Amino acid sequence: MTLKLIHTFNDKIDLYYEDVPLFSYVYVSRVPAIESPRPYFHPVRTLAGDVVTNFRPNDHRWHQGFSMTMPYISGDNFWGGKSFVRGQGYVQLDNNGQQRHVNWDYLTCTDDEADLRQRIVWVSYAGETWIEEERRIVVGEVNPEMSCWTLEVHLSLHNVRGEALEFGSPATEGRPDGVGYGGWFWRGARDLTGGLVMISDGSETSKSDMVVMGHSGPWLAFVGAHDGVDRSSTLVFIDQPQNPRYPTQWFARTESNVCASFALTYADTYTLEADETLNLSYTMVIASGAWNRQQIEAFLKQR
């Protein structure tokens, strides 16, 4: 296995497996402030070279590949765009916060593993630092035989505001259909729309989002076909037992667009007390080909 890392200072990190670019991680975002700038992964590719992420799609400009988001933290919006306001619906407020890169504490890439350790601050609309984050990104599992690779992210969010922070979602703010997105989020490539969503509890759909929306389970998988090539891709999102509210409730769409998130606050707020730390770990498997439920479960069993 041969991994290669290219660092463009004050911009992004590109990771390659041999001659295949696996991802670009843009750690200094230059999107408009109203979109809640934050570090993001895009494009992300399979070992076959197919792109599985979308960036600033025309339906939701603030969707940015793989990224950490939160639509509600104590009144501020770290998701981007409008905020859901009880009794009013979606309203554009002066409340869009952002995540800012501070420093790389550790950047290493061997033939077999990339290990990136970053410090980030979450800054409110008013310019106050509310969260100091330590983020670790690991790629150490590339499997050419199964045409897949694995991305791990570990997030450590420390509340430095001096008072409790309340994390929420549109659902906790009164959205009538109860849909509660937020957390580690994936916006998928548009050509995957209408793909198959599967959750470990047995639910699945390629048509109606509400068949899977809000279901809980240790994993969610998405299988979709690409335009222009005779190939499909599979993404498997894996929650970790040490995470709060494990197994997570899932936010997922396939009907009108493609997305999924580990939705920590899908139905209930989460309070992070002053000077406390929220630790979250997630794993994403990016595979070329259409995996079925049995293949997914067999792969996860052998990990």
Tens-place pLDDT, residues 51-85: 999 999 999 999 999 999 999 999 999 999 999 99
Classify residue 80: in a domain, yes or no. Answer: yes
Classify residue 33: in a domain, yes or no. Answer: yes
Classify residue 287: in a domain, yes or no. Answer: yes
Alpha-carbon distance of 45 to 270, in angstroms, equals: 33
Alpha-carbon distance of 9 to 180, in angstroms, equals: 36
Residue 218 CB neighbours (<10 A): 16
Q: Are 84 and 23 a contacting pair, CB within 8 Å?
A: no
| Statement: residue 1 has pLDDT above 90 | no
Please report the pLDDT score of residue 303 as a whole number. 84
| Statement: residue 251 has pLDDT above 80 | yes
Classify residue 133: in a domain, yes or no. Answer: yes
User: Got the DSSP string for 49-85?
Assistant: --B-B-BS-TT-TT-BSEEEEEEEETTEEES-S-EEE
Please report the pLDDT score of residue 167 as a whole number. 98
Domain range for 103 is 29-302
| Statement: residue 123 has pLDDT above 80 | yes
Structural domains in the chain (count): 1
Task: Evaluate the omega torsion of the peptide bond into residue 247 and state whether it is cis, within 30 degrees of 0.
Answer: yes
Classify residue 7: in a domain, yes or no. Answer: no
> Partners of 224 in the beta sheet?
233
Residue type, 36: S
Collapse the DSSP code of 300 into the 3-class scheme (helix H, G, I; strand E, B; otherwise coil) and give the result. helix
294 Cβ contact partners less than 8 Å away, ≥ 6 residues apart: none
Per-residue pLDDT, averaged over 293-299, amounts to 97
Convert the pLDDT of each residue in 198-248 to its tens digit: 999 999 999 999 999 999 999 999 999 999 999 999 999 999 999 999 999
Residue type, 5: L
Please report the pLDDT score of residue 44 as a whole number. 98
% of the chain at pLDDT higher than 70: 100
177 Cβ contact partners less than 8 Å away, ≥ 6 residues apart: none
Classify residue 16: in a domain, yes or no. Answer: no
Evaluate if pTM is beyond 0.85.
yes
Classify residue 235: in a domain, yes or no. Answer: yes
Classify residue 6: in a domain, yes or no. Answer: no
